Amino acid sequence: MGHLATPMVASATVPDALTFAVSALAVLLGALGVVISRNPVHSALALVVTLFGVAVLFVEQQAHFLAAVQVIVYAGAIVVLFLFVIMLLGVDRRENIAAEPLKAQRPLAILLGLAVLAEVLVLARVQWVTGASSVAGIASGPGSNVSKLASSVFTTYLLPFEVTSVLLVIAVVGAVVLARRTPRGPAAKGEDARSAPGAGGDQARRGDPGEQDQSRQPEEEPVT
């Protein structure tokens, strides 16, 4: 059942090395841009650069299907969702990154980053992997990457596949519940219908971010 995983001998040609260098540079610069940018929209655009760099690296590692899925799902859907929420909430004001409420956060972050870097560099000298045999099947050889990945997902990893589909349903239901406005009771409904123009004015004064529909119940009062 398990194949012996023979490591592939990678031949580094000049185009390979050049592609790796350019896309790795794109990934690093994009990641820096995400963290350093003051404007969240600039961060989202830098994230797109990072995701495209990672997709190119996926192609170089012979994971063609994952590169396409990465571009479509991550850069095409998730970043677009980020931008929707950024625009909806209007947080594209410039944040003051010098002010830090939790004082210990930055030194601790730098410390942990250095610790992880040291760990990676130390582990690079010792053995990377355990040498256990492969469970899912080999990645190289004849046949397309998509067919190998599909046969792996739909046979060996069928249970995680079904569980992730359930997870997606849960996520969709959760998003719908979170985005919904809770309707009020019948008594309040009568009051609000009578005072609808006033409620519309209240909403405009409160600066309600996304509410355009005047026919629905107005937003609940802020909790005191």
Partner 1 sequence: MFMCIELMLNAANLTFVTFARALNDIGGQSLVFFVLVVAAAEVVVGLGIIVAIYRRRADTNADDFHILKG
Contact positions with partner 1 (CB under 8 A) in 174-213: 174-175, 178-179, 207, 209-210
Under the binding rule (CB under 8 A), the answer on residue 144 touching partner 1 is: no
Under the binding rule (CB under 8 A), the answer on residue 47 touching partner 1 is: yes
Residues with Cβ within 8 Å of residue 40, at least 6 apart in sequence: 86, 91, 92, 95
Closer residue to partner 1 (CB): 160 or 190: 160
Q: Which of 16, 17, 160, 198 binds partner 1 (CB under 8 A)?
A: 160
Under the binding rule (CB under 8 A), the answer on residue 56 touching partner 1 is: no
Under the binding rule (CB under 8 A), the answer on residue 117 touching partner 1 is: no
Secondary structure (H, E, C), 3-25? ECCCCCCCCCCHHHHHHHHHHHH
Under the binding rule (CB under 8 A), the answer on residue 142 touching partner 1 is: no
Under the binding rule (CB under 8 A), the answer on residue 50 touching partner 1 is: yes
Residue 104 CB, nearest approach to partner 1 (Å): 12
Q: What's the CA gap between 71 and 54, in Å, rounded?
A: 9
